[in-house]
Chain A
Amino acid sequence: MGNFFNAAEVPVVKANRLQSSSLNNRMVNDYWTEVFNAKAEGKLVCWYEGVAINPLMQAADIRWVHGEAWSALLAARNNEGPAQEAAEGRGYMKELCSYARTHIGCGVLAQNRGVEASGSSFSDALGAGLLGERVPAPDMFISAYPYCSTGQQWDEMLYRLFGKKIPIFNISVPWVWGNKKDAGYLTGAEFKEATAYMVRQLKECIKWIEQQTGKKYDYDKLSEIMAYTKKAGELRMEAIDMCAVKPAPASFFDWTTSLAPVNFVPGGPQIVSYFETVKAEIAERVRVGEGAIPNEKYRLFWDGIMNWNKIGWLANKFAGYNATMVAGRYTHMGFWHEHECIDVNDPLEGMAINYLVCPINLSAPLMIEEIIKLCKKFEIDGMVLHAARTCRAFSNPQYLIADAVQKRLGIPVAMIEGDMVDESFYKDELVNARLEAMMEAIEGKKRMIIPNAA
């Protein structure tokens, strides 16, 4: 053995992606079209990053540009280059969050060309004919970044880049650390206090939104949006749970392409019907025993943020190893996964709770327990930890996570270095070598061979 997992000899296998994911593309395109048309339709535009606060804007009829979504879109369409270069040109260094660099780079381009001259838009930002044609400049910023100081500063730098003239609202999200003995996941006095503090700030933010729009805030609309969001979150988690069977009918990679509807797409009937369709497809796969890859032999967990430049390559690579990437921290521990906490008649507290327990905002001991639960539930054989070079927020607890799952579950791990949208941080050979070693260790364990003794 040994050679089977050698990159050169692993067959190229195409993952059996969920058909329904393609419906997601339409929703994403519609969302961007709405964003592009915002100014023409007389809508205010808010820029923000991080957790899904978009229902707050949607209820006030404001359009929103989600920074990570925008950067990821550019990367997915190989269009991130000009923005990243513009950022570098102004002195932003390569070691800074690549999402932020890409987004700020768009701001730099807009500034270079003159926001006024281009009618308050990014029309020239990415060069004629390219993707960014009509992404509008902001009328306001809302910053609500959990855990990562870099996220808060990203908003601040955009605010400064646009001459400190565009209003900004800062929501400070407390980290769920746990000083006290009663601290636990979703419980304890500190968590309660943090939730109450978040709710206070969300209320202030709504007042501020009223000032920006000059209109009374429509709480009923927020409830309506959150009802759809809650339902979508519930359906998504139910569908995720159905993947505990073997072979897993959908993979982590499928779930990454299903994030937009619970992340930045407007809340409405379409996001609910999307997850109904996804769930139905998964149910059918379970019925006939169809897997997310043709021949599932191993089941893996993905820790870390996504890497949009490499996602297709990785999905097929693991399919080639006969390994399903069944679950992940990014997809399974966030995006309205605590839908049960949302009271649609008074949704702010439930929203706050979901923001607080997003996949980076738990301190390591709490996070590790949640990860271990998932590993057990999905009967994981190995864990890949994607150390995103410029996202320390996700990379921070990875040694502790790796240590815990190795010791407590006895599963092999592979730590690979990469990035979200900066391809230059990948070294394919290194990734291959680490993955091979992990796959061999898993296989060794399966055959009850002591690792390294073969």
Chain B
Amino acid sequence: MSVDSSVQGIFAAFEAAAENPLASSRAWKAANGTPVVGSFPMHFPGELAHAAGCLPVILQENHEPITVGHGMIYPFYCGYTRSVVDQACKGDFDFLDAIMFGDHCVQVLGAADVVRAKLPNTRVHFYQLISSMSDPWSHSRARETFAGLKEGLEEMIGRTIDNDAIRASIRLFNRNRQLLRKLYDMRRSGTSPLTARQMQLAVKSSMVMDKAAHSALLERLIERLEATAATRQRGVRVYLSGHFCQAPKLGILDLIESCGGIVVDDDLYHGQRYISTDVDDAGDPLDALAKWYLERNLKVPCPTRVDQNADWETYLLGAMAKSKADGMIVLMAKFCEPHMYYYPEIKEAFEAKDVPHLLIETEHETTALEGIRTRVEAFLEMVKRQTIAKAAAAARLETGVV
């Protein structure tokens, strides 16, 4: 595949994969003969599937209206699970060689049962990851689970996966995460004025593309960006939080920026959450993956886990300060239970510290962007005034003129 190596050309390649993930992985399979292993978000170690010679692809919510899926799942489920069921019912997953997953959000489990029923000839395997992260046996259980997954993959390919192969895959995945984190650093520091849309395309395409090919594009992109002088951006610095299994609609990201916000950082799964943590590439790889799984939750706490050593709200306040964000916009996928549970904790912590935030509930179907626009505009306006007032108060304190 030859790619136009201009910045626009690279983003066009990312977009092609991110917006049509199944077509892109199907094409990869056709061209390379690689089996494709689909997985559900958010904690599947693609490294193992890669080491087994497969292309790991994180199955995505698509933009299609839910039609046949309506006959298999109730409407009061999150957009991700409904979309996955709909895609399975439409036969979109038929080309996958296997679907493997480890997360047990109750809605995903419902979708998984339907997916298995609709794909009688596909391996749909579940390796339940312990979601209680701070127990004395959390590490050993996670390791056992990854060992089970490795066995399942071995059974599928008919040979054993050796540790060196896993370590090589780990290195490849680490490299990709490092490059993506570099993009984040560049945006946070203002070196590179990347939009929220571009960041999503970069991360989301990494979830579905071959990692080596993706990293090659990232390297070129970073080179190009470093060679370009940054133009200073003006606007309200916004931190984006929320949206787990599904990528926020690009239209919403564009809207926030068109209303005068600059997204400087996020904890989105299609963002920082996905790339936050590297896996140790020495020693026993299953141990390293188990360690990664637990550490990742301390780096960017996940509300689908229970962890006595992590506080999502504390993390968010810290991340806001680090990225010098002035306000936070919370994107909540409608019906997402883990998010609904944790939101009051966040709300309380942010109100107590007087840090402004705005909650936006998103849906698979509707893009009632106009209503959202009004709220975002009002929010950004309020944040702007508050920021100016705070700066003035700080200046008065400094000069002693109170």
Contacts and interface: CB of A to CB of B under 8 A. Distances in A.
B385 to A, nearest CB: 25
Contacts of A396: 106-107, 109-110, 113
B392 to A, nearest CB: 31
A387 interface: yes
Nearest to A168: B308
Interface string B134-165: 01110001000000000010000000000000
A179 interface: yes
A96 B74 CA distance: 15
Contact of B114 (A93, A143, A399): A399
A96 B341 contact: yes
Interface stretch (B31-39, B123-131, B179-187, B223-231): B123-131
Contacts of B117: 364-365, 400
Contacts of A400: 72, 113-114, 117
B104 interface: yes
A91 B128 CA distance: 30
Nearest to A148: B106
24 contacts: A91-B347, A92-B340, A92-B341, A92-B344, A95-B337, A96-B337, A148-B106, A149-B106, A149-B337, A150-B337, A153-B306, A155-B306, A157-B341, A168-B308, A170-B306, A172-B128, A172-B132, A172-B135, A179-B127, A200-B137, A201-B137, A364-B113, A397-B110, A399-B72
Interface residues of A, number: 46
A165 to B, nearest CB: 11
A54 interface: no
Contacts of B303: 153
Nearest to B313: A160
Contact of B113 (A96, A168, A179, A397): A397
A185 interface: no
Given A392-B110, A400-B114, A149 B74 contact: no
Contacts of A93: 340, 343
Nearest to B111: A396
B71 interface: yes
Contacts of B347: 91
B132 A149 contact: no
A179 B341 contact: no
A389 B76 contact: yes
Interface string A375-405: 0000000000001010011011111100000
Given A149-B105, A156-B306, A392-B110, 19 more contacts: A91-B343, A95-B335, A96-B341, A149-B337, A150-B106, A152-B306, A153-B337, A155-B306, A160-B345, A170-B132, A170-B135, A170-B306, A175-B109, A197-B141, A204-B137, A364-B117, A365-B117, A392-B106, A397-B110
The 8 residue pairs across chains A and B that have the minimum distance between CB atoms: A396-B110, A91-B344, A170-B132, A364-B113, A156-B306, A177-B126, A399-B72, A90-B344
Interface string B65-106: 000000111101100000000000000000000000000111
Contacts of B72: 399-400
Interface in A294-317: none
A201 B343 CA distance: 30
B304 interface: yes
Nearest to A160: B345
B4 interface: no
Interface of B: 71-74, 76-77, 104-107, 109-110, 112-114, 116-117, 125-128, 130-132, 135-137, 141, 152, 303-304, 306, 308, 334-335, 337-338, 340-345, 347-348
Contact of B106 (A160, A364, A393): A393
A247 to B, nearest CB: 34
A157 B105 CA distance: 16
A395 B74 contact: yes
Nearest to B304: A149
B344 A179 contact: no
Contacts of A149: 104-106, 131, 304, 337-338
A118 interface: no
The listed residue with most B CB atoms (<10 A of its CB), out of A97, A389, A397, A399, is A399
Interface in A164-200: 164, 168, 170, 172, 174-175, 177, 179, 197, 200
B257 to A, nearest CB: 27
A336 interface: no
A41 to B, nearest CB: 30
A387 B74 contact: yes
Contact of A95 (B76, B114, B136): B76
B26 to A, nearest CB: 25
A387 B72 CA distance: 13
A147 interface: yes
A174 B335 CA distance: 24
Nearest to A425: B76
B128 A175 contact: yes
A363 interface: yes
Contacts of A153: 303, 306, 337-338, 341
Contacts of A395: 74, 110
Nearest to A87: B344
